[in-house]
Structure 1
Amino acid sequence: MEAVTIKEFYQDVFGNICPVIASFLDETTTSDIGHFNVFDISELYKTCAGKPAMPYNRRTYYKISLIHGKNKVEYADKVIDIDDYAILFATPKIPYKYTPLDSSQSGHFCVFTKDFITKSNSGLIVDDIPIFNPNSDFIYHITEEQAREFEAVFIKMHTEINSDYAFKYDLLRNYVIELIHNGQKLKPISATPSAVNAASRISTLFIELIERQFPIESPTQVLQLRTAKDYAERLQVHVNHLNKVLKELTGKTTTEIISGRITQEAKALLKQTNWNISEIAFSLGFEEVAHFSNFFKKQTAVSPLSFRDKLFEIYK
């Protein structure tokens, strides 16, 4: 599964290319500083004929949204209802579904890639920022007064991005950091339980998180999530609950599903690359080649080397 680029995201969400965003769809325009853009939600509704629900998908960008209107956000076993003002900090590591519940939507949002932040001289790494931690809360209720304060920053963004100031992206980067720091002072909105759809949401997000790890494209790329505990922590559910949900829906345990997907990737790497067994083992998160060999043999009844040798015999 390939990542959804910013360009593909806008095309998916708005359908036909909207005039407001058309100029942003050339992904080479800001290749030297990372991608950044800012939008007025009400203007998008007018120009792009409404903003539909945002489905579960992979994202390569970070997003900060100032929301005004009735909306629903679904994440794992949580449902968050937004009745008025809120601000949302989305990261590629947190899959969620965002649904506007009426047409009276206003506010602003900006999108940016990891490179946009890391291009700064501060050496700041966006994934190290607490508000973008996968285990943090990312939707915050705010008052009308607080909304005006956030909006003031977004208005400065709108003004600056249309300016011809030579260092405008440095200034825009500072505005993003200002939004982040102000957001980290807030308290999150409490989620309401939703047992009806929670199981299907958890399983959907679990599968998405697995697929985000693949394909492995380089021997230096190392699998980040390997155990049931890793996935449960990312989804913010108890590991036993995750296992129960997946067992009921798929008939397999969390570990069985993870092992099956790692084995599938191992076979692909053995077939399609000339990497040695040690490189494949490392990329799949095994510290010792022997551990990988034992794992692979347990899953397939043959060793990785025997599996590859048989392939060579077939193609001779």
Structure 2
Amino acid sequence: MSNAPRSFQTLRDQYRHMGLRTDLMEAEPEFTIFNLRDTLHEHLPFHSPVHRLNFFVFSFTKAGKGQYTIDGQTHPIEPGMVYFTNPGHLRSYIWEDIEEAYLITLSEAFLKENVHADIFDEFPFLLAETFPGRRLSAEVYSEFERIYKQIHHEYLHHSPFRKRIIGNLFVVLLLKIKEHFWLDYNPIYEGNRSSLIVKNFKLLLEKHYRELGEGKVSQPYRVQDYADAQSLHPNYLSTVIKTKTGKSIGTWIAEKTIGEARSLLQHTDVSVKEIAYRLGFTESAHFSNYFKKHTKLSPAAYRNERNRTQS
């Protein structure tokens, strides 16, 4: 039997695998928020297996103690601690004690659809290869606490505008993180050679799909193009990306294609045929089948559903 770390597409999948309660999470996996104590208090001390998550994780610990490990680097969890991780990293954690520690998880699609279509331009630190958690003063932590508890309130409220409200509140949260942690962040100067390769690949992927969506370029990049941009052999680039993130370049490209398609369907009036063309599909029917395979909805049905929830 393989001992390779498990990868999870949603937090619900991960918690179900670990035998933890999942009733605090709604069926829709793109955004969750809850107090970890409500999930883990019967299992303390809790040691998670090493795993990879395909979504963003934000953790706010007001009262609790433990540690978390990201890509082999271990950091303490203490009262007043804030940290986040982005998709693809090997991670595990230990909770020795927990009274109040709120966890927010959300997908890239949620960020781009409900927070900001160009989220990584305004907040490039979200693509940071590493983010050691930071312990805040009680005064500064209380600023974050007010925001995440308001987000939690809206999450439970079930307003027809809930996602838009949460998205706007999350902008405030990200601005606070930027204010206190990342004013001097340089996305190029970070980590070792492999980390830099991953960072540059993510930045190029994001830039290229933004240009595709805006109609500035007409042909999606191949693996060779991403490799040429860093003067690397495509096999080497593929190996680094797979090893560091747990996902192949093909998976990154597929997820970005769907993410950009969803953003265009929700935020623009561009026709499905034009979206298909911009994203490199020669036939709109091929694009529709591809989109439905990944989202369970046709592009038209997805657009109608999003318009209905925002009206």
Q: Using the alignment, how far apart are the partners of 1:121 and 1:82 within structure 2?
A: 28
> Gaps (5+ residues) in structure 1?
189-201, 210-218, 231-254, 263-316
Partner of 2:108: 114
How far, CA to CA, are the matches of 1:66 and 1:183 in structure 2? Answer: 12
For residues 115 and 87 of structure 2, the distance between their equivalents in structure 1, rounded to whole angstroms, comes to: 23
Work out whether 1:91 is the aligned partner of 2:86: yes
Letter in 1 for 2:81: A
- Give the number of the structure whose alpha-carbon radius of gyration is greater: 1
Unaligned runs of 5+ in 2: 183-191, 199-219, 244-311
Shift of 1:180: 1.7
What residue number does 2:23 align with?
19
Match of 1:280 in 2: none
Deviations along 1:215-254, one digit per CA (max 9) or x if unpaired, are xxxx976389979x99xxxxxxxxxxxxxxxxxxxxxxxx
The match for 1:73 among 62, 68, 71 is 68
In 2 relative to 1, CA 174–138 (structure 1 residues): closer, same or farther, beyond 3 Å?
Answer: farther
For residue 223 of structure 2, what is the aligned residue in structure 1? Answer: 222
Equivalent position of 1:63 in the other structure: 57
1:8 and 2:2 equivalent?
A: no
Residue in structure 1 matched with residue 38 of structure 2 by the alignment? 43
Q: What secondary structure, in the 3-state scheme, does the structure 2 residue paired with 1:179 have?
A: helix
8 A Cα contact 1:140 1:183, kept in partner = no
What stretches of structure 1 move > 6 A for 4+ residues in a row?
223-227
Structure 1 position 77, deviation (Å): 5.5
User: How far apart are the structure 2 equivalents of 1:54 and 1:120?
Assistant: 31
- Partner residue, 1:174: 168
Query: Where does residue 202 of structure 2 map in the other structure?
Result: none
1:183 pairs, out of 177, 191, 214, with: 177
Q: 2:134 aligns with which of 133, 140, 154?
A: 140
* Distance (whole Å) between structure 1 residues aligned to residue 226 and residue 44 of structure 2: 37
- Percent identity over the alignment is 14
Give the aligned length. Answer: 201
The Cα shift of 1:111 comes to: 0.8
Partner Cα separation in structure 1 for residue 85 and residue 169 of structure 2? 17
- How far has the Cα of 1:108 moved from its partner? 0.6
SS in 2 for 1:98: strand
CA contact (8 A) 2:75 2:132 kept: no
CA contact (8 A) 2:81 2:136 kept: yes
Change (3 A) 1:75 1:45: closer
Counterpart code for 2:65: K
Once the two structures are TM-superposed, the CA of residue 162 in structure 1 deviates from its matched residue by 1.8
CA distance in 1, matches of 2:128, 2:36: 26
Cα distance, 1:114 vs structure 2: 0.6
CA distance in 2 between partners of 1:176 and 1:125 (Å): 11
Contact 1:36 / 1:116 at 8 angstroms: preserved in 2? Answer: yes
SS at 2:175 equivalent: helix
Render the CA deviation track for 1:192-236: whole Å, top value 9, x for unaligned. xxxxxxxxxx9xx99xx9xxxxxxxxx976389979x99xxxxxx
Number of the residue aligned with 2:145: 151
Q: Cα–Cα, structure 1 residues 52 and 182, in superposed 2: closer, same or farther, change >3 Å?
A: same
Tell whether the 8 Å contact from 2:115 to 2:170 is kept in structure 1 after alignment: no
Q: Give the TM-score normalised by structure 1.
A: 0.52
